[in-house]
A and B are shown apart, each in its own frame.
Chain A
Amino acid sequence: MAAAVGRVLRLGGCWSALALPGGLRAQMLRLIYTTTAVQRKNIGASGPEKYTEEFIKKQIEEFNLGKRHLANMMGEDPETFTQEDIDRAVAYLFPSGLFDKRARPMMKHPTEIFPEQRKIQWGEDGRPFHFLFYTGKQSYYSLMHETYEKLLNLQKYQDQLLAQDLPSQKEKRNLSGSRWLTKIELEEMLLEKLSDDDYSRFIQLLENMMTLPCGDAEEKYIQKFSKEVAVQLKKVDIEPLKYDERGVAFSTGEGARKTARATAVVYDKGTGKITVNGIDVLHYFPVLQDREQLLFPFQFLDRVGKHDMVCTVSGGGRSAQAGAIRLASAKALKSFVTEKEVEFLRQAGLLTYDPRVRERKKPGQEGARRKFTWKKR
């Protein structure tokens, strides 16, 4: 009997309840039966694969064990083996010539590799844990709920202060050095998809909270959702002027563009004479366009006839060499000029290295972008 049932089961397909002996019926009813077509649809709709908690725990144990093995292999102490040591060891043992760093072999803690996933939100009885589960975006709405509660508290506090006629404390917060989390960062924090509308509502709420005076706890809460932005200005460093044997001040700068590399030495108290590789600028750059490029930094600072320049340049073509010398001379001129003017130079783009390089030709196309002539037939 059991063998016959088993044979039918192996054949698969849907079958309705047959007339079977009563003893086996109870077992039959508990079996789940589906057709192959329905089976396929279910697999597609399940989405990205879910990692269970035990799976993650096992990965972590394996990682730790592997770390110790790796430390032994490299002859280091397993107890004090840090992530940097792991990276170095892996790079040594599996050298790779791939350009993309993310494609190379790596060994990292499972929490960094496997994206965080939400645990099962309901218990054994099927009841969800969170009271807002049935809204669909439970973490988002709970966050809004909390934040609004805090906002109401702050408003109440401010009303109390006003009622008591105390001066409202205006604390200066550093607004320029921080920014709010982006939508993607917020999604990662909440482990939930958001829409643009939701995100903008949340940010508006935070802005409203910022306008009110708040205590330390609220400050800490808000800081969870803001990030520091490094100020550009502090990065530019200006070298001091040097003096040569004649007592004339000079400064050097280096520049590059495409494949050309240039160094420029700008002297003070000059007549605007420029020498490139020992040749006068008129002979080296017969084209007006190149000379205009050289003129640009000086003209920008209104110092056209006041400096002499001696440069060396190699590589690239005529336009690339002109661009390289322009960058080098702008960098050299930084030392002669006030900080404000250095900022003007930076904003004019004279101090930025031009990253444009020749794009590679791709197979199946005639050039970098140009495709072969399309023929209908």
Chain B
Amino acid sequence: MGALLPSVPLGGFTSRAPLSVVSGSGEMLRSLKGLVCHPRKLDHACALHTAARDCLSAIVTQDVQTPAERPRAVFYTSESDPAKHTEQHEGRHYSIPLEELKVVFPQGLPPRFQQQIKTFNEACLMVRKPALELFTYLKSSNFAHPAVRYLIYGEKGTGKTMTLCHVIHYCTKQGWLVLHIPDAHLWVKNCRQLLQSSYKKERIDQPLQAAAWLKNFKISNERFLKEIKTQRKYVWGKRESTEEGRPLGEVVEQGLARARIASDAVGVVLKEVRQHCQLGSFRLLVAVDGVNALWGRTTLKKEDKSPVSPEELTLVYNLRKMMMNNWSGGAVVATLSQTGSLFKPSSAYLPQELLGKEGFDALDPFVPIPVPNYSPMEFESCYRYYLDRKWLQHERARTEDGKEELRFLSGSNPRQLERLAAPL
């Protein structure tokens, strides 16, 4: 652990911990099974930092303590299967192995979290109450009934998208087929190419977005693409068509190869998946982030400068059909998001405000799941995590006063805390 020497702050300059140290400790953790729960504080870290002047003693304390229990257990749990997460694990972070990450979440993690993963070289998610609530609902739901719709809502930056990712991880581990739309707002704004649909005259295609989505869908659900077979013949153009009974992978390949028909390919995929799910061969999870985009307004314009309404977009139209509760054998988990939404005031966060009348009626019987700011325990846990990862380099940040200051200034809001901690 001699590599810790440069990481010990001398003179209080702010710099990020060298990545080599972080990865070393991460590997050690994954190999250590059976962590003992210790209620005491991070004396280990304090000993390190007070002995900054005497580097030798730092190494000595480190060597003594490494083989023994690591106090990370206060905010950390080694349980990496979300299915086994219970209230006992509430407030703790669990890490997702990086290889799994690429398969489960090719898209969909918030950009700042992705940066954090790259910096810390591990993806740690906090187990929180809303996610646990959703797990109980999903475990106890009867899949013969029509799909229940769960709506995650809350103020800005409280962790709705992270909860959604947690749920997706759980479902993937359970073997469900996950239809994950990372941000529906991306489909209703800033689209460069709009093509008139060949299938229906009034609809408008979005080849770029559809192609991107198909690519990610392929990465995340490889094995299902081989299992599911098409139930009827689809004609793509004059010369291309997909016969009945072909694996769904072929449809996806067609969509990726020819951008013109990508949106229609998406529609086909959704329809097939829905039909197969009703037959009961697998469970389906439809996870949409920013679902209020489907019923709002768009910033897109047709060639004659008239505004486009969401129904006219193929992707949105097909997705709306998925959001209906006329199919069974799965669940729909959606997140409201004000951050990317168009024409909505920034203080709006309730479903009524963000969905509008049309959206609310469409989603009407849904289970609302509010996501609040950090509770004191969760805040403590997040703070300890940053401290342990040596993300907070300022001397004051390590004191109790510093913690109170952080708590006050961030208002226990996860996003504010993360932004505050970043330059420290």
Contact = CB atoms under 8 A, between A and B. Distances in A.
B404 interface: yes
Interface in B335-361: 347
A282 B413 contact: yes
A372 B31 CA distance: 72
A299 B401 contact: yes
A292 B347 contact: no
A298 B408 CA distance: 10
B420 interface: yes
Contacts of B189: none
Give the size range of A's interface with the partner.
10 to 19
A24 to B, nearest CB: 101
Given A282-B413, A282-B416, A288-B420, A302 B401 contact: yes
B411 A281 contact: yes
A84 B167 CA distance: 82
Contacts of B347: 283
B219 interface: no
Interface of A: 272, 280-283, 288, 291-292, 295, 298-299, 302, 304-305
A292 B407 contact: no
- Candidate in A281, A292, A302, A305 with the most chain B CB atoms within 10 angstroms: A305
Interface in B396-424: 401, 404-405, 407-409, 411, 413, 416, 420
Interface of B: 347, 401, 404-405, 407-409, 411, 413, 416, 420
Main DSSP-derived SS at the B contact region:
helix
A305 B407 contact: yes
Contact of B408 (A280, A283, A295, A302): A295
CB-CB nearest 4 A-B residue pairs: A304-B404, A282-B411, A305-B404, A291-B409
Nearest to A282: B411
B373 to A, nearest CB: 8
A336 B39 CA distance: 34
A304 B408 contact: yes
A305 B410 CA distance: 13
Nearest to B404: A304
B304 to A, nearest CB: 39
Nearest to A280: B411
- Candidate in B347, B404, B408, B413 with the most chain A CB atoms within 10 angstroms: B408
Nearest to A285: B411
A220 to B, nearest CB: 56
Nearest to B419: A288
A295 B413 CA distance: 16
A305 B409 CA distance: 11
B395 to A, nearest CB: 16
A72 B212 CA distance: 98
Contacts of A272: 404, 407-408
Given A304-B407, A304-B408, 14 more contacts: A272-B407, A272-B408, A282-B411, A282-B416, A283-B347, A288-B409, A288-B420, A291-B408, A291-B409, A295-B408, A295-B409, A304-B401, A305-B407, A305-B408
18 contacts: A272-B404, A280-B411, A281-B411, A282-B413, A282-B416, A288-B409, A288-B420, A291-B409, A295-B405, A295-B408, A295-B409, A299-B405, A302-B401, A304-B404, A304-B405, A304-B408, A305-B407, A305-B408
A298 B347 CA distance: 28
A283 B411 CA distance: 10
A119 to B, nearest CB: 70
Nearest to B406: A304
A295 B404 CA distance: 10
A283 B349 CA distance: 12
Contacts of B401: 299, 302, 304
A292 B409 contact: yes
A305 B404 CA distance: 6
